């Protein structure tokens, strides 16, 4: 039952109800005051639940109509108290029906309203809709005389043409026929023209002309004396000729005016990000998530850092498991940094709300207090702070231990029972000091907890099961020996003990009772996980361990020994036998301790939650689990704990995969990786164990969800003015640019960026991109992710990627040896170049050459594959006497220097294929090569750690030098004077003439082979090298330091901007930072990767970027910059 709102009531602390409600055909309309916006809105609520479906259809139609000066704007749809409600603009002048009854319309006003309503209906027709209920009551009037068509409850698609109802007095003949039962009738825009003509006739006559609209042609005669002859003829033609639109009718009406008509022909307003985000929220509320996501993408395309859009879309994607909470926070931080707060405290409020839902309570409190200080009237900030104040203090405890193998934690985290790899069993009571050793023996296989969290069962590899009183830390009676047991469980009441065995059997004992155990048979492979219900009457079991399990979860009744339900994975292919392939080696399963739920992370499938009692899947979501050793399901399936080898863990909602909280920075460094985990029986505390450390943390609670953010509506005239202003400024900027008046163009672009809603418009960003070559890069306007791809099992390992110099294309390598060519902006694979004969091995490295028309692919088989992307032709280059082990393109990309396993160097022209130089440079395999910019000298580095300088076409090296350690790469400075030598320990500059050291930049960081050691500007005049906590930019000819960038962590992977104005740096976390080299300031931080970064690539103008991590995660980014132009 819908609860009525009463005058003076404040709903959700946000809407004050003004005046009495008005009843309509399908619902009631309340006038409310939006307290934050200080704007009145009309809220339409359905009369009863029976009309909800029809009401939602109306709402969906209205939402899709968009914004027009002569239709009432649907601001958004929002469900409150389980009831969908339409929030529309409030039109303050009443309805046309009321104006007719009051007799307050003169002839000019009547013609004006006729024209405006025709325009409004034509907009609906242009949008593909037929209104079906045009009448005076569905026209609203502003005090200034503006007329707006409203109530699209019966509107249907013109292509559909079905009858939805209407008001008989305004029926067209086809509506009357449909109402009489004729199902063959189709409704078209002519239907609305008929009803409009009836409405106009009534408005001019001052009274209803007929009770039956289909008789309007005859009824018009009865009011002929009240109509001007020209108007009578016009309306009569609507009934006789049945026009399908209003174009000519409007022209004729304007011609009836005695003086020039004052209103210009309107056009639909293009919604900016705020309107699009509101539409998205409405569609989401109406159960149309795909359409909602499309609207949000439009909103973020229009403005990548629009705060409400970034917030709402981020929340939606997080709650559906598409992104992590950290990515939502990172996106909001970037949006806030880019645009500031459009409203006082808005950025802090949105960030604080997300952090509160993530249970980052301390950070949430700081942000929400900031928001409340900036806007004391914010009801949302007050409500969020109230939620924050009511939360229990966070549990945070830790202690040294051995290398944890398995563990359980008691209620409220009072006791932790854990086993270390060497076989020691310990109990830790955080309030009582450090861990206490209880016993030593064979390695512990599993630990279970029962007896209201007081009784622990410990299973060792020899099958011995011992029972322990957790609070007392003492052994209990009831020990058993179960040879071959792999899993153990205790009932909640502590009366029953169960063990799962390698042979697939499950044995259940009643503690303290004599006799043999109950044996449950059905699994065909080892039972790896086990749970007993509170009373011990039910058992839940799983058999999953690579391919050694049978891939099933089974639910048993102990009293009968019957398996009452079996759960298997989804089909992910077909076996040779023709049966569906439902068990993959990477399938993972966890059981709730009360034997009620099982959760499975199916390899190449969803995360799914199974209710054993109902034998049905009750939730599904996406997941990215790969090799995480910890997967523990909390009581009532209220949280799933996942932990990996890195110092990080997270709790997700097993029903949809949404990340509830991530633990990383707040975990102690001593933890190293997470190897074991547990959730307390009351669901309040989680325990994590690693090498030498155990920690306790509070489980994220449930209840609070950050509220959606609806943007303040902007009227159509305001949007029109903004659009016209922006279009005019951009047209002027284009003219200045074409006239090569670049400074003037830049001034106009800056002015265009101040137009509300257009600060980061795509056309504006394209304008700035065009100006970059003519000025100096200055401020970062925006940086956002275009898309991401998870390439594990598809890309090479680690990934190989090359971004086209102009940022239009991208190449990636498949593990099969094929090469994918992508449209970078769209994220679509345009073509796959198959491996082909002679292409030995997968891709090792790839780069662009010959002006971005040629891909040079170096394979692990020791060949170069040259692919012309214009026509797909491919050519293979092999080594002279051994596989190609090193190559380097010259700066123009027209020549390539090769080194092979036999020690031969040769220089080839890529266009001609002509060999320009060949020499047997060394007796060892060549590791790296470089050629001088003037093509007079070439340098090689071999496996014997020797560097040799050769003048072309000579028989002896000009000089050589031996390194103490293996080198990795060689480069020439652009002035030909310096050879730059990459080593694991840093970069050394050698005098090209004599081979003597000129300078060096030690890289005091722990690094792995394959990560970047040096990055260059486009002209190679500047280079960047890493240190333990900094990045140094220096002159490649002199070694002079130009910038030293202090970093918060060790730089793992990095890239230098083509013009050396900024650097992109990734550390050991999943964040990528964009740093301004002149100021040393981090301009943006982007998150999303879940593994260590492997490659960062930038386009030649620094506006396109691709990042790839070690396990195949690839993300495409766009960076937008302003330019200072003299």
The pLDDT of residue 2: 59
Pair (412, 553) in one structural domain: yes
CATH of the domain at 70: 3.30.200.20
E strand residue ranges, 943-1004: 946-951, 959-962, 967-972, 978-983, 986-991, 997-1002
Least reliable range by pLDDT among 736-750, 950-964, 1014-1028: 950-964
Average pLDDT over residues 556-575: 91
pLDDT one-digit tens code per residue, 101-130: 999 899 999 999 999 999 999 999 998 888
**Per-residue pLDDT tens over the stretch 49-94:** 556 777 777 777 778 788 899 999 888 888 888 888 888 889 988 9
Whether residue 158 contacts residue 128, with contact meaning beta carbons closer than 8 Å, is answered with: yes
Q: Residue 928 is part of a domain; what is its CATH number?
A: 2.130.10.10
Collapsing DSSP to helix, strand or coil, 852 comes out as helix
DSSP codes of every residue in 270-309: PP-HHHHHHHHHHHHHTT-HHHHHHHHHHHHHH-TT-HHH
pLDDT of residue 155: 47
Strands (E), 377-484: 396-409, 416-420, 425-428, 436-439, 444-450, 455-460, 464-469, 474-481
- Mean pLDDT to the nearest integer, 22-45: 84
Asked if residue 164 has pLDDT above 70, the reply is: no
Looking at the domain assignment, is residue 82 inside a domain? yes
Say whether both 174 and 73 belong to one domain. Answer: no
Q: What is the pLDDT of residue 573?
A: 77
CATH number of 188's domain: 1.10.510.10
42, part of any domain = yes
Query: What's the average model confidence in pLDDT over 687-704?
Result: 81
Claim to verify: residue 571 and residue 424 sit in the same structural domain: yes
The Cα 311–Cα 314 span in angstroms is 5
Which of 252-256, 386-390, 802-806 bottoms out in mean pLDDT, i.e. has the lowest?
A: 386-390
The pLDDT of residue 939 is 97
Span 642-664, average pLDDT: 82
| Residues 513 and 447 reside in one and the same domain | yes
Q: Show the tokens assigned to 906.
A: 């040769």
> Is-contact 44 85, C-beta < 8 A?
yes
Number of domains in the chain: 4
- Reported confidence tier of residue 340, pLDDT bands at 50, 70, 90: low
Phi/psi class of residue 848: alpha, beta or left (left: φ > 0; alpha: ψ in -120 to 50)? beta
CA atoms within 13 A on the CB side of 523: 31
Token pair listed for 1118 = 């766009």
Residue 98 tokens read as 């009321």
Confidence of residue 162 (pLDDT cuts 50, 70, 90): very low
Q: How confident is the model at residue 218 (pLDDT cuts 50, 70, 90)?
A: very high
Q: What is the pLDDT of residue 159?
A: 42
Q: How far apart are CA 380 and CA 346, in angstroms?
A: 10
Establish if 436 belongs to a structural domain: yes
What is the reported pLDDT for 555?
98
The set of residues, in sequence order, having a beta carbon less than 8 Å from that of 171 and lying 6+ positions away, is: 179, 195, 212, 213, 214
Residue 940 lies in a domain: yes
Tell me: the pLDDT tens digits for 738-766? 999 999 999 999 999 999 889 889 999 99
DSSP 487: E
Average pLDDT in the 1035-1056 region? 94
- pLDDT for residue 154: 53
What's the average model confidence in pLDDT over 467-477? 93
Among candidate residues 223, 255, 287, the one where a domain is terminated = 255
Residues 414 and 537 placed together within one structural domain of the fold: yes
Quote the domain boundaries for residue 155.
96-255
SS3 content of the chain, % helix, strand, coil (to 5): 25, 35, 40
Helix (H, G, I), strand (E, B) or coil at 524: coil
> Residues 489, 600: one domain?
yes
Q: What is the pLDDT of residue 26?
A: 64
- Per-residue pLDDT of 441-455, as tens digits, reads 999 999 999 988 999
**Taking all residues of the chain, what is their mean pLDDT, rounded to a whole number?**
89
Among 57, 89, 121, where does a domain finish? 89
Whether the CB-CB separation of 670 and 689 falls below 8 Å is answered with no
- Chain centre to alpha carbon of residue 3: 37
pLDDT (mean) for 1053-1070: 91
Residue 81 is encoded by which pair of tokens? 């108290």
Q: Classify 206 in phi/psi space as left (phi over 0), alpha (psi -120 to 50) or beta.
A: left
For residue range 609-643, list pLDDT tens digits in order: 999 999 999 999 888 787 788 999 999 998 999 98
Residue 122 lies inside a defined structural domain of this protein: yes
pLDDT for residue 158 = 43
The pLDDT tens digits of the residues spanning 8-17 come to 999 988 899 9
Identify the band that residue 25 occupies on the pLDDT scale cut at 50, 70 and 90: low
Domain final residue, candidates 962, 979, 1002: 1002
Residues 238 and 124 both lie in one domain: yes
150 shares its domain with 209: yes
What token pair was written down for 308? 């409400």
Same-domain status, 71 and 119: no
Look at residue 1074 and tell me if it is in a domain: no
Q: Could you give the CA distance from residue 527 to residue 549 in angstroms, rounded to a whole number?
A: 7
Does residue 428 sit in the same domain as residue 500?
Answer: yes
Whether 697 is covered by a domain: the verdict is no
In a domain, 1061, yes or no: no
Percentage with pLDDT > 70 across the chain? 95
Q: What percent of the chain stands above pLDDT 90?
A: 59
Claim to verify: residue 117 and residue 213 sit in the same structural domain: yes
User: pLDDT tens across 969-1009, in order?
Assistant: 999 999 999 999 998 788 999 999 999 999 999 876 554 55
* Confidence grade of residue 913 (pLDDT, cut at 50, 70, 90): confident
Do 462 and 583 lie in one domain? The reply is: yes
Cα angle: 176, vertex 138, 272; to 5 degrees: 120
Whether residue 116 contacts residue 105, with contact meaning beta carbons closer than 8 Å, is answered with: no
Order of strands across the sheet with 937-942?
926-931, 937-942, 946-951, 959-962
pLDDT at 591 over 80: yes
Taking 50 as the threshold, does the pLDDT of residue 160 lie above it? no
Question: Can you give the pLDDT at residue 161?
Answer: 40
Nearest to 411, CA basis, from 595, 684, 638, 677: 684
Query: 63-67, 661-665, 903-907, 1022-1026: lowest mean pLDDT where?
Result: 661-665
Least confident of 164-178, 240-254, 411-425: 164-178
**Helix, strand or coil for residue 783?**
strand
Nearest to 527, CA basis, from 589, 471, 605:
589
């Amino acid at each position: 039952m819908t609860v009525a709102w009463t005058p003076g009531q404040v709903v959700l602390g946000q809407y004050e109800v003004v005046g009495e409600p008005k009843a309509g055909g399908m619902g009631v309309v309340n006038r409310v005051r939006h307290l934050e916006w200080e704007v009145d809105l009309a809220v339409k609520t359905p009369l009863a639940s029976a009309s909800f479906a029809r009401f939602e259809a109306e709402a969906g139609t209205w939402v899709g109509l968009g914004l027009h000066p002569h239709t009432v704007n649907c601001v958004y749809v929002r469900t409150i108290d389980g009831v969908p409600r339409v929030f529309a603009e409030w039109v303050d002048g009443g309805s046309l029906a009321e104006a007719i009854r009051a007799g307050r319309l003169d002839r000019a006003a009547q013609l004006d309203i006729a024209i405006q309503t025709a325009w409004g209906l034509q907009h609906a027709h242009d949008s593909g809709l037929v209104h079906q209920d045009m009448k005076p009551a569905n026209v609203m009037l502003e005090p200034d005389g503006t007329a707006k068509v409203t109530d699209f409850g019966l509107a249907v698609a013109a292509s559909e043409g079905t009858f939805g109802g209407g008001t008989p007095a305004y029926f067209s003949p086809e509506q009357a026929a449909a109402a009489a039962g004729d199902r063959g009738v189709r409704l078209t825009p002519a239907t609305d023209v008929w009803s409009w003509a009836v409405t106009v006739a009534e408005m001019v006559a001052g009274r209803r002309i007929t009770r039956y609209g289909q008789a309007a042609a005859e009824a018009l005669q009865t009011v002929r004396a009240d109509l001007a002859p020209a108007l009578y003829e016009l309306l009569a033609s609507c009934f006789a000729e049945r026009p399908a639109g209003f174009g000519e009718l409007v022209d004729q009406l304007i011609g009836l005016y005695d003086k020039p008509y004052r209103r210009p022909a309107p056009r639909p307003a293009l919604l900016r990000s705020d309107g699009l985000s509101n539409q998205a929220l409405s569609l989401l509320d109406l159960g149309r998530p795909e359409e909602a996501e499309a609207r949000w993408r439009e909103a973020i395309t229009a403005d990548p850092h629009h705060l409400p859009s970034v917030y709402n879309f981020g929340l939606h994607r997080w709650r559906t498991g598409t992104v992590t909470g950290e990515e939502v926070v990172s996106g909001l931080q970037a949006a806030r940094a880019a645009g500031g707060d459009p409203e006082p405290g808005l950025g802090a409020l949105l960030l604080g709300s997300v952090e509160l839902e993530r249970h980052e309570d301390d950070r949430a409190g700081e942000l929400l207090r900031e928001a409340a200080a900036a806007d004391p009237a914010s009801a949302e900030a007050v409500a969020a702070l109230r939620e924050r104040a009511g939360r229990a203090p966070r549990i945070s405890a830790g202690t040294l231990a051995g290398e944890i193998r398995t563990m359980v934690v008691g209620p409220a985290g009072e006791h932790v029972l854990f086993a270390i790899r060497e076989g020691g069993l310990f109990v830790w009571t955080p309030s009582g000091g450090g861990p206490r050793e209880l016993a030593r023996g064979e390695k512990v296989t599993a630990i279970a907890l029962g007896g209201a969290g007081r009784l622990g069962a410990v299973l060792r590899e020899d099958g011995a099961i011992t029972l322990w009183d957790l609070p007392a830390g003492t052994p209990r009676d009831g020990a058993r020996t179960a040879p071959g047991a792999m899993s153990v469980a205790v009932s909640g009441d502590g009366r029953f003990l169960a063990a799962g065995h390698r042979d697939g059997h499950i044995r259940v004992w009643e503690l303290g009772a004599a006799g043999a155990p109950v044996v449950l048979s059905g699994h065909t492979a080892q039972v790896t996980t086990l749970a007993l219900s509170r009373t011990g009457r039910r058992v839940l079991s799983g058999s999953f361990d690579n391919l050694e399990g049978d891939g099933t979860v089974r639910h048993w009744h102990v009293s009968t020994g019957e398996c009452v339900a079996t759960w298997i994975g989804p089909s992910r292919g077909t076996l040779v036998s023709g049966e569906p392939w439902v068990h993959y080696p990477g399938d993972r399963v966890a059981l709730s301790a009360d034997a009620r739920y099982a959760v499975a992370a199916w390899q190449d499938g969803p995360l799914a939650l199974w209710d054993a009692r109902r034998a049905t899947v009750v939730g599904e979501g996406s997941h990215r689990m790969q090799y995480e050793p910890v997967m523990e399901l909390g009581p009532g399936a209220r949280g799933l704990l996942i932990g990996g080898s890195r110092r990080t863990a997270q709790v997700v909602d097993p029903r949809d995969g949404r990340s509830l909280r991530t633990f990383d920075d707040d975990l102690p460094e001593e933890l190293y990786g997470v190897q074991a985990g547990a959730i307390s029986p009351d669901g309040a505390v989680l325990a994590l164990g690693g090498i030498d450390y155990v920690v306790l943390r509070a489980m994220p609670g449930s209840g609070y969800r950050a509220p959606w953010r609806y943007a303040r509506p902007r009227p159509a005239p305001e949007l029109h003015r903004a659009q016209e202003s922006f279009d005019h400024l951009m047209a002027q900027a284009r003219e200045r640019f074409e006239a090569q008046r670049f400074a003037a163009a830049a001034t106009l672009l800056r002015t265009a960026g101040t137009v509300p809603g257009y600060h980061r418009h795509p056309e504006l960003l394209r304008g700035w991109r065009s100006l970059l070559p003519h000025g100096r890069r200055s401020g970062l306007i925006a940086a956002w992710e275009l898309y991401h791809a998870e390439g594990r099992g598809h890309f090479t390992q680690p990934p190989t990627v090359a971004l086209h110099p102009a940022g239009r294309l991208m190449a990636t390598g498949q593990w099969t040896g094929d090469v994918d060519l992508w449209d970078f902006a769209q994220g679509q694979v345009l073509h796959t170049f198959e491996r082909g004969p002679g292409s030995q091995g997968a891709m090792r490295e790839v780069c662009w050459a010959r002006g971005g028309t040629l891909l040079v692919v170096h394979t692990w088989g020791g060949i170069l594959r040259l692919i012309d992307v214009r026509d797909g032709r491919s050519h293979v280059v092999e080594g002279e006497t051994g596989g190609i082990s090193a190559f380097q393109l010259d700066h123009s990309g027209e020549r390539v220097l090769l080194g092979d396993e036999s020690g031969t160097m040769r220089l080839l022209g890529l266009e001609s294929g002509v060999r320009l130089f060949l020499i047997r440079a060394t007796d060892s395999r060549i590791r790296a090569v470089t050629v001088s910019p003037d093509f007079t000298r070439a340098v090689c580095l071999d496996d014997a750690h020797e560097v040799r300088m050769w003048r072309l076409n000579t028989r002896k090296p000009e000089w050589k030098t031996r390194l103490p350690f293996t080198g990795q790469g060689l480069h020439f400075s652009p002035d030909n004077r310096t050879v730059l030598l990459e080593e694991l320990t840093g970069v050394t500059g050698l005098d090209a003439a004599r081979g003597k050291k000129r300078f060096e930049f030690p890289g005091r960081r722990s690094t792995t082979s394959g990560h970047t050691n040096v990055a260059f500007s486009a002209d190679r005049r500047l280079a960047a090298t890493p240190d333990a906590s900094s990045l140094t930019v220096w002159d490649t000819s002199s070694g002079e330091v130009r910038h030293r960038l202090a970093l918060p962590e060790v730089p793992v992977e990095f890239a230098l901007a083509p013009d050396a104005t900024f650097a992109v740096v990734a550390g050991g976390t999943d964040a990528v930072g964009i740093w301004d080299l002149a100021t040393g300031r981090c301009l943006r931080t982007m998150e999303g990767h879940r593994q260590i970064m492997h490659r960062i690539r930038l386009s030649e103008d620094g506006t396109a970027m691709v990042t790839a991590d070690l396990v195949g995660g690839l993300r495409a980014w766009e960076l937008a910059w302003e330019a200072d132009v003299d």
